[in-house]
Structure 1
Amino acid sequence: MVFLEFEKPLEQLYEQLEKVKEVGENGVVDMQSTIEELEGKIKQTRRDIYANLTGWQRVQLSRHPERPYTLYYIEQMCRKFVELHGDRCYGDDKAIVGGIGNLDGQTVVIIGHQKGVNTKMRQYRNFGMANPEGYRKALRLMKLAERFGFPVITLIDTPGAFPGIEAEERGQAEAIARNLFEMAQLRVPIVCAVIGEGASGGAIGIGLGDHVMMLENTWYSVISPESCSSILWRSWDYKEQAADALKLTAEDMHGFGIVDEIVKEPHGGAHSSPEEMAKTLKRQLKKAIAAVQEKSVEQMVEDRINKYVAIGPVTHAK
């Protein structure tokens, strides 16, 4: 198990539990009561730690190396999934995966960021930072969904769109802007879920939808706490203060009306029980799709546009 800095009390308890179990397995002393006592302490300590997490601690949880990523959720949620590749223009971006899936008998198009589960795969997936061809691939799949009347699901988990010069040369900003323009008018339901990090245009490039949800220990912001800290204080040392000032947690986003729903995670975060998290997410995605499908296409598109128009209204001083 990988423990984060604020989880150190849990790590110590787990170490004690392992030692006690070893003594019990040797059969010299009956340690069952001690084991039960330690397990109770672990549960209570976990509840205490997770009862009042700071913004920075939720950022850390969203980046946990054992946290489930898009392909895991797809594997758990879909009876069958066929991945589709390429933007038919430049190439296939491995940071964004997408294809056609069967969600309990309903055909859907699923698109999401994929970070990679180890060092080699993270390099292969560019750490979930998509190039323009990734967003153009996503748009191609959304247009495919529109043609056949399939709902679209997007799973957001990125530290941001790739900022390299080659991405800018191939039109990074235009690709993201085009996605926003097309998604606003797409004539099929779009349900979005932030499953990890939701940073800047890299997230919103596949994040405009009829219903947007965030998992409990995720974040959604125009900039990461570290980058914000480096701009304001010329140092990363103030990232915790930056995380609080950015108001980037699921609770903050729901309060601002940016997202429509917060999806509860198992105690200890999504990584503590990935299968349970996948079941919960699947249930909420199906529920959201069904609700959007009750509307006519015209009403759905109008409501979607009005939803984003209402975010951050502009006022003019008299």
Structure 2
Amino acid sequence: MPNSADRRPILLDFEKPLAELEARITQVRELAEENEVDLSDQIALLEARAVELRKEIFSSLTPGQRLQVARHPRRPSTLDYIQAISDEWMELHGDRGGHDDPAVVGGVGRINGRPVVMLGQQKGRNTKDNIRRNFGQASPSGYRKAIRLMEHADRFSMPILTFIDTPAAWAGLEAEQFGQGEAIAYNLREMFGFEVPIICSVIGEGGSGGALAIGVGERLLMFEHAVYSVAPPETCATILWRDSTKSAQAAEALKITAPDLKELGIADEVLPEPIGGAHNHPLEAAETLKTAILRNLAELDQLTPQQRRELRYQKFRSIGVFTEAGMPTHV
């Protein structure tokens, strides 16, 4: 789990007023110590204002700003959450076809003593690590590794927990040559047929079929500042307006935020984040996620395998609405 105590803060544009106030608090505290003056009341007022300002900023984020939070370099990753919520964990590698994509991680573990299979996309912590993990953009071998682990889970009656955090699947020429579309389609088909419970959690950015390839489940949980969309806003802006700088406008139109998707019936539950985002208090965010997973898992345990498959089917069958002659119609 990332620890920012010994690192310089990474500020997003809309956090600058808060950073200025916190710098002022530090300055007042240092002056008070240097001059041996008691300014504790003034400092307490400034600290209270900083708390309120942080609440104000993060309670009124635009979709574009939420996207920035979802992409924050220090936002907890799949491995961070797995290690924080599991009692024990063993990572497994390889697609059994000669490849092991580091953009997808997964393995077996226990949560509250119960065996589960956990997997998800993994972004890097720095430039070098991001290059190694291809910025969380999986290749066909990554999705084949994922389905291998899920088939293992279904064979041994272990629930499947997936963690979604990718801008999209890798769109390189080699990805197409090695069957990116087929790998994603195969995962979608197979996940609909598994008998064990499947809980999918969007922990950061969920983009395009690369996210959906591990996103078929009875329950979709989303963190408050996570995003989930048919395409990254930059890609959408390029397609619609031939201008990637209009990504904020695209983010607004795409309805990518957790509250929007909850209202549309795509997300089943929105998980609150610590004030300032999950990266501000990662262990608190991990505890929130663990609690939600265990609660939903207990509910899904009450269903038969057939009922779980039907719930999965109906969930995705109801997604997508178009309007014809003023009447809403489900696809």
CA distance, structure 1, for counterparts of residue 31 and residue 131 of structure 2: 42
SS at match of 1:271: coil
- Does 2:311 match 1:303? yes
Percent of aligned pairs sharing the same letter:
49
Shift of 1:235: 1.5
Partner residue of 1:56?
64
1:102 counterpart residue number: 110
1:284 aligns with 2:292: yes
Q: Could you tell me how far 1:21 is from its partner in structure 2?
A: 2.3
Q: Specify which of 222, 227, 233 is matched with residue 219 of structure 1.
A: 227
Corresponding residue of 2:78: 70
Structure 1 residues 13 and 169, CA gap change in structure 2 (3 angstroms):
same
Residues 16 and 254 of structure 1: CA distance in aligned 2, closer, same or farther (over 3 Å): same
Q: 1:238 aligns with which of 232, 242, 246?
A: 246
Cα deviation for residue 34 of structure 1 reads 2.2
1:23, 1:31 within 8 Å by CA — same for their partners in 2? no
SS at match of 2:279: helix
CA separation in 1, counterparts of 2:259 and 2:193?
28
CA distance in 2, matches of 1:155, 1:261: 14
Tell me how many residue pairs correspond in the alignment. Answer: 318
Which residue of 192, 202, 205 corresponds with 2:200? 192
What amino acid does structure 1 have at the position aligned with 2:138? A
Alignment of 1:192-211 (within 5 A): 192-211=200-219
Q: Secondary structure at the match of 1:157?
A: strand
Offset at residue 23 of structure 1 (A):
2.2
2:131 alignment counterpart: 123
Gaps of 5+ in 2: 1-8, 326-331
Per mean C-alpha deviation after superposition, the further-off stretch among 131-140 and 20-29 is 20-29
CA separation in 1, counterparts of 2:105 and 2:30? 44
Measure how far apart 1:127 and its partner are.
Answer: 0.6
The answer to whether the aligner puts 1:252 opposite 2:253 as a matched pair is: no
Amino acid at match of 2:89: F
Which of 20, 28, 43 is 2:36 aligned to? 28
Q: More deviation in 270-279 or 32-41? A: 32-41
Moved more, 304-313 or 148-157: 304-313
- How far the C-alpha of 1:7 sits from its partner, in A, is 1.0
1:175 aligns with 2:177: no
TM-score (norm 1): 0.97
Of 21-30 and 69-78, the range deviating more from structure 2: 21-30
Question: Which of 11, 14, 35 is the aligned partner of 1:6?
Answer: 14
> Offset of 1:312 from its aligned partner?
2.0
Q: Which residue pairs with 2:101 in the alignment?
A: 93
Give me the whole-angstrom Cα distance separating, in 2, the residues matched to 1:141 and 1:15: 48
Quick one: distance in 2 between partners of 1:316 and 1:208?
Answer: 28
* Equivalent residue, structure 2, for 1:43: 51
Q: Deviations over 1:140-185 (max 9, x none)?
A: 0000001110000000000100000011111000000000000001
Per-residue displacement from partner, 1:82-107 (whole Å, max 9, x unpaired)? Answer: 00000001300000000001101111
Q: What amino acid sits opposite 1:108 in the alignment?
A: V
Task: Give the deviation of 1:27 after TM superposition.
Answer: 5.3
RMSD: 1.6
Question: Does 1:165 pair with 2:173?
Answer: yes
Name stretches of at least 5 consecutive residues in structure 1 with no aligned partner.
none
The runs of at least 4 consecutive aligned structure 1 residues that moved more than 6 Å come to 314-317
SS at match of 1:272: coil
